[in-house]
Amino acid sequence: MSGRRSRSRQSGVSRITEDQIADLVAKLQQLIPEIRSRRSDKVSASRVLQETCNYIKNLHKEVDDLSERLSELLESSDGAQADLIRSLLV
């Protein structure tokens, strides 16, 4: 993925263009559910960045909650069920 775009890492002067950044911001905008549902093209970059940060923080928190839940479940359940689940998943 890092090699997809032309590398802008020149030595000395950077050639990061506005279009590149706007493109990336637009792509990011599509991923964030809050902005995607608004359907407005006039979302500022600052807003997109803000929502991105919030979204990542939310996802981190969800992962933390889930890992807490999983740790409790792991302690209570025994190994037979883990094998059963594994056979279901694979």
Residues near another protein (CB under 8 A): 1-5, 8-9, 11-14, 16, 18, 20-21, 24-25, 27-28, 31-32, 45-46, 49-50, 52-53, 55-57, 59-60, 62-64, 66-79, 81-82, 84-86, 88-90
- Least distance to another protein, CB of residue 2, Å: 7
Radius of gyration of the chain (CA): 21
- Least distance to another protein, CB of residue 24, Å: 4
- Least distance to another protein, CB of residue 38, Å: 17
Which of 33, 85, 80 shows the shortest CA–CA distance to 54?
33
The b/e string for 53-74 (b: 16+ C-beta within 10 A; e otherwise) is eebeeeeeeeeeeeeeeeeeee
